[in-house]
Structure 1
Amino acid sequence: MMSHEVETKLAAARTRLILDKPFLGALVLRLPMQQAAAEWCKTTATDAKSFYYNHDYIDALSLDQTQFVLAHEALHCALSHFSRRQHRVKHRWDLACDLAVNPLLVNDGLKPCPDTLYDPQYDNMTAEEIYPTIDDLDDRETHDQHIYDEDEQQQDDSDQQDQKGHGGDGGDKKNEEQPQQQDSSGGGGDKPRDEENNSQGNSNQAELDENMGGAAQPPPLSESEKEDLSVQWQQRLAGAAQQAMQSGKMGEAMMRLVDHLLQPQLPWRMLLARYMTAVARDDYSFQRPSRREGSAILPSLRSAQLDLTVVVDTSGSISDTE
């Protein structure tokens, strides 16, 4: 299939999402589609800014499966998976995010693509809830690439390369001598050096993209970019949900998800447990011991805790006076 035919398939899948699933379609519209170089993108990928795809992979998918991969990447962005990992291991977090997103799409009637991670037991669970259930040695792989983040090993390697590139007195001396040689040689003295480097870098990037047959892999997001994009995607999520509810095509599972994200309810069980733990007396007591305990005073815990049972009645059958 030619490149324009793949683009036509992607456009048709996006249009069908807009008509049939306006919530997902509105989110997909926020991701510009770019053909990626096959050297790094084997299926699809996102950096929370664009949707990257492998030409041959999209060519092999049906139109229904193409809708799935588009909505899959859009939900990763709308749920701010790129900014919620924190201290967690990247591979396990990527698995948890896919296991949280895919049931939503399957339950909404979309046809999953090959090698999709799907387990019904994770229905209506967030990535944070799924993460502890994933084993450290789980060797499963997601069908897509989450390139908005990098794991700790990649980050350490890049930091070491930066230190090698900028370290040493010899490197500083060469960098100091190079501008003097450029100034004395004349030629490009009127043009700022930064602009010259930027223009050269852009031209090299364009040549690289053309030679590789697609866009090069973008760098991971910085912390400031993650914060800004998280706010933007939350606003986009609210706008897409409002449009879908007005058209009457908002799925029940998606509606619960949006309510949970935009209007989170207080976890009353955790708050009650925190309060009861704070007031519980389960520490050493300095009260005068009883005379009947003998002459020896031994250290011991004096607990005044009680076993309580809290029941929340939501039936409405009990009045305030009762």
Structure 2
Amino acid sequence: MKHVTEAALLIQKARTGLLLDHPFFGTLLFRLQGQERRSIKTMATDGVSLFFNPDFVAGLTQTELRGTLAHEVMHPALQHHTRRGNRSKERWNMACDYAINPLLMDAGLTLPQGVLIDRRFQGMSAEQIYNLIESEENVQQRPGTEDQQGDPRDGAGAGGERNIGDESPDTPGGVGQVLDAPQPEPGTEEQTPEEQARDWKIAVEQAETLAKLAGKAPAGLQRTLDAGTDAAVDWGELLRRLWSETTPADYSWMRPSRRHVWNGLYLPGVIREGVGEVAIAVDCSGSISKRQLGLFEAAARSILEGQRPSRVYVLYFDAVVHRVDTYEAGEPIRLTPVGGGGTRFEPCFEWLDEQGIVPQTMVFLTDLEGSFPREEPMYPVLWASTSKLAAPFGQVIPMAAA
């Protein structure tokens, strides 16, 4: 126990140093209860506890320990512990680290060698970074790893104690992992993840005020916090949900709903036969960045794989339709924009009319700065927009403009 006590004292000393020199991080750190866990290699937090390996703590310098503690507390400060959803735990941890580390370094903190730093991601939310990693890298799983998804309490051990080692993926360059917020035990007064998120939001606002009064607010803090707030509704998931609603569906007793079978109820399941033809219109007026294009391409490819359209038309336009690429069922799409003039949306609808095509869904990637047709088409239209402008018809899906 002597070693554990030494590690706890080192953490206490580092926390005091943060409170004096970096009050934003030091104040928030008091919300986390320290717990030793040798089952993890470094540190981890679920928004309630700060789990640490004493050997890892002992191997850090005091400046590195301060940076690592600030790194950990930024996970719940940015709501990372409540926003993962069904994403891969490993890739989510990497995306969260990329979102946090530049802020810490710009604040003058020191991080251990080998941490994840990529200035391309600076100011972006973890969701944006996650999608970019997925679209830019080979997303095949590394040997010995899995996409760990499911109930955040799957790692519970004997006696109800969570097996933190099972829940904390060993990510390259990771010095502190983010775990899903714990679910409350039935009959207790433990907070739900939603209540945790609310309290952390209040705590962050208070810590930010205190840091500003002390003249020691971290550089770039507001932009990072805003990125996290904007990501509360993930545009990719919203696009997926709205797109799915346009897919023809029916019910069948041949494939009962698995959601209710466990309870002895046999209800018909939803059968989606796959859509017919889909149109994707890419605004090439110069307002769409390569980064946004990559995000949209990854989301569109994922959705199309699930929807199984018979054909996909990709229209590249500005004031006119410059080119149309056609993809048959199962072919992966790749967006290669061409153009650069002003923006008119009418030519896209006109091209479909001229070809006699009535798509199951039409999706625009645009900033919505252009002229619209006078009449709404008979098919659903989704606008994945990088601005806060409105459209006269269809559903607007706000897409981060970073």
TM-score, length of structure 2 as denominator length: 0.47
Q: Residue 220 of structure 2: SS of its match in structure 1?
A: helix
1:258 is aligned to 225
Aligned to 1:69: 68
Aligned match of 2:182: 221
- How far apart, CA to CA, are the structure 2 residues paired with 1:119 and 1:232? 30
Query: Counterpart in 2 of 1:128?
Result: 127
Structure-2 residue corresponding to 1:318: none
Q: In the alignment, what sits opposite 2:140?
A: 137
Equivalents in 1 of 2:130, 2:79: separation in Å?
16
1:140–1:107: structure 2 CA closer, same or farther, 3 Å change rule? farther
CA distance in 2, matches of 1:239, 1:24: 11
**Contact 2:125/2:224 (<8 A) preserved:** no
- What does the per-residue CA deviation read over 1:257-308, in whole Å, with 9 as the maximum and x for residues that have no partner? 23555699xx9x89xx9xx8699744766xxxxxxxxxxxx86479xxxx94
Cα 1:78/1:280, change in 2 over 3 Å: same
Q: Work out the CA distance in 1 between the residues paired with 2:129 and 2:58.
A: 32
Cα pair distance change 1:47/1:283, threshold 3 Å = same
* Counterpart code for 1:12: K
The aligned residue for residue 246 of structure 1 is 213
SS of residue matched to 1:33: strand
Q: Which amino acid aligns with 1:14?
A: R
Distance 1:64 1:87, change over 3 A: same
Q: Distance in 2 between matches of 1:255 and 1:140?
A: 38
Cα distance change of structure 1 residues 138 and 30 upon mapping to structure 2, 3 Å threshold: same
Distance of 2:29 and 2:86 partners within structure 1: 29
Q: 1:235 is matched with which residue?
A: 202
Structure with a larger share of its residues in helix: 1
SS in 1 for 2:35: strand
CA change 1:250–1:60 in 2 (3 A) is same
Deviation per CA, 1:68-126, whole angstroms, max 9, x where unpaired? 11111100011011221224222211111111111111121111124421222222221
For the 8 Å contact 2:47–2:81, the answer to whether it is kept is yes
Once the two structures are TM-superposed, the CA of residue 60 in structure 1 deviates from its matched residue by: 0.7
| Structure 2: distance between partners of 1:156 and 1:83 | 10
Compared CA separation, residues 121 and 284, structure 1 to 2 (3 A): closer
Segments of 5+ residues of structure 1 without an aligned counterpart are: 142-149, 160-199, 209-217, 286-297, 313-322
Q: Which amino acid aligns with 2:32?
A: L
Q: Does the CA contact (< 8 Å) of 2:102 and 2:122 recur in 1?
A: yes
Separation in 2 of the partners of 1:236 and 1:221? 19
CA distance in 2: counterparts of 1:119 and 1:284, whole angstroms: 41
Distance 1:261 1:156 in 2: 21
Distance verdict in 2 for CA 1:55–1:235, change over 3 Å: same
- Change in 2 beyond 3 A, CA 1:98/1:278: farther
- Aligned 1:200-211 pairs, distance under 5 A: none
Using the alignment, how far apart are the partners of 1:127 and 1:249 within structure 2? 25
Q: Which amino acid aligns with 1:31?
A: L
From the superposition, tell whether residues 247 and 54 of structure 1 become closer, same or farther in structure 2 (CA, over 3 Å).
same
Please say if residues 32 and 50 of structure 2, whose CA atoms lie closer than 8 Å, have aligned partners that are also in contact. Answer: yes
AA of the residue aligned to 2:225: V
Structure 2 vs 1, CA of residues 157 and 253 (structure 1 numbering), >3 Å: closer, same or farther? closer
Cα distance, 1:6 vs structure 2: 1.9
User: 1:151 is matched with which residue?
Assistant: 148
Identity over aligned pairs, percent: 29
Give the alignment of 1:57-206 within 5 angstroms.
57-134=56-133, 135=137, 136-137=139-140, 139=142, 151-152=148-149, 155=151
Q: Which amino acid aligns with 1:151?
A: Q
Bigger radius of gyration, 1 or 2? Answer: 1
- Deviation per CA, 1:159-203, whole angstroms, max 9, x where unpaired? 9xxxxxxxxxxxxxxxxxxxxxxxxxxxxxxxxxxxxxxxx959x
What is the CA distance between 1:155 and its match in structure 2? 4.8
- Distance change (3 Å), C-alpha of 1:261 and 1:52: same
Verify the 8 A CA contact 1:44 1:54 in the aligned structure 2: yes
Aligned equivalent of 1:33? 34
CA–CA distance in structure 2, aligned partners of residues 35 and 241 of structure 1? 29
Q: Deviations over 1:116-147 (max 9, x none)?
A: 21222222221112112213136499xxxxxx
TM-score (norm. length: structure 1): 0.58
For this pair of structures, how many residues does the alignment match? 224
CA distance in 1, matches of 2:230, 2:86: 25
CA contact (8 A) 2:79 2:197 kept: yes
2:140 maps to amino acid:
L
Distance change >3 Å, CA 220–CA 75, structure 1 → 2: closer
